[in-house]
Each structure stands twice: as structure tokens, then as C-alpha cells.
Amino acid sequence: MTEQTTGRRVTANINLTLDGRYNGPGGAADLGAIVPYATTEVARAHLTRIWEGATTALLGRVNAEGFLGFWPSVAADENADPRDRGYATWLVNAEKVVFSTTLTEAPWERTRVVNAPAPDVVAELKAAGGGDLLVNSSASLIRPLLSADLIDRLYLMITPEIAGSGQRLFDDGLPASKWTLTHQETGKLGEMGLVYDRAR
């Protein structure tokens, strides 16, 4: 059976340490190896790159609560960096799909909550609408989508630190896949903004 789609790409963005972790030994809130690099020129250019062309943001509940509790105030802040404000405005205005087993209704505008496997939901979204689908820093969604070979582009921000422990994005058990580096930028602190496209 041939899958019919509109040609929407599925993209994913996440920040990782040199040892492949998206948080440190203190758990989900331990971003000590990530946050110091979030406002560099390379990071802000990378932030702009991830949302250009995207019309839908896909978020896990925890990230949704963090992002949507913070970014709307940036969108309204005339003194914020224009790149931060651009992303924030996009996030506020974009269609948002939040994956949750506990939320029953969305406390945010232009948002729907789903309690279903990410590959099933993404397959439905790809078949309707237009623009890229951006999985925004949610490893709980990126992993199953990688397993289902549904991600077309990876936006990785690599920070020059080894966290030592914490959660890794690329766990054992993911299927093998090949990727083509389509953009690379290195900042003064050693941080790197990378874009990889799935080679199929």
C-alpha cells in the first residue's frame, strides 16, 4: 500500500551535549550543559532555522508546559532579541499538538491534546495541511518517530560539554539510518548548529 501524503516534512529539534544527553544528572530540569549556549549567535540563528517553513509544533506535555509558560511573554517583549521574538511569535501562532496521557484539554490557544502513539498522529498530520511539522525538543516524541523512520530532518545543537550522566536521545535499539549533513555552523564557545537530512 502506498502512503498518500501532502509532502509535509517532519523535522525535529533538540540540544545535546557531546555525550549525546539532553539533560544532566539532575534529571529533566538539569540543563546546566545546555543553557549557557542558548543565547549565542549560532544558537539564535539555529533557533530561527528550525521554525522557518514549519506550521505545526509537536510537543510532549512537559515541554509544552515549559515552552508555553515562557515564550508567549517573549513574543510580547519589544526589547527581546528579534530572533527570540520571531520564534516566540511563531510558537504562539502555530498549530500545536501536545502529546499527553494526563491532560484532557489544552490550556493554550491553537492547541489540541492527543493521547495516541506519535507515529500514528504524525502519519495523519502528514496527510493533511501544509508546511513542516516541527517536533520541538521532545525526546519522548523524537525516539518513536525515529523508530518509525518518520523524521526527515534533524536540527541538532551540540554543546561542548560532557554531562557524564542524564538522558540520551539515541538509545540502543533504534533502527540504523543514514543522514546527510546539509548545514553546519560553529560558535565561539565551541557550540555547533547542525542540520541533517534523512538519506533515503
Task: Catalogue the E-assigned strands of 22-86.
Answer: 54-60
pLDDT at site 5: 46
- Cα–Cα distance, 77 to 96 (Å, whole number): 22
Q: Give 122-180 pLDDT, tens digit per residue.
A: 999 999 889 999 999 999 999 999 999 999 999 999 999 999 999 999 989 999 999 99
Q: Give 12-22 pLDDT, tens digit per residue.
A: 999 999 999 99
Task: Catalogue the E-assigned strands of 54-187.
Answer: 54-60, 95-99, 111-114, 132-136, 153-159, 179-186
Its pTM surpasses 0.95: no
- Cα–Cα distance, 60 to 68 (Å, whole number): 12
Residue 6 confidence class, pLDDT cut points 50, 70, 90: low
Q: Cell 509544552 identifies what position? A: 64
Mean pLDDT of the 33-45 span: 96
Parallel, antiparallel, or unpaired for β 111-114 and 95-99? parallel
Please report how many Cα atoms fall inside a 13 Å half-sphere around the Cα of residue 58, on the Cβ side.
31
Residue 55 confidence class, pLDDT cut points 50, 70, 90: very high
Mean pLDDT of the 106-116 span: 94
pLDDT at site 4: 45
Of the options 1.25.40.10, 3.10.20.30, 3.40.430.10, 3.30.1110.20, the CATH number for the domain spanning 10-198: 3.40.430.10
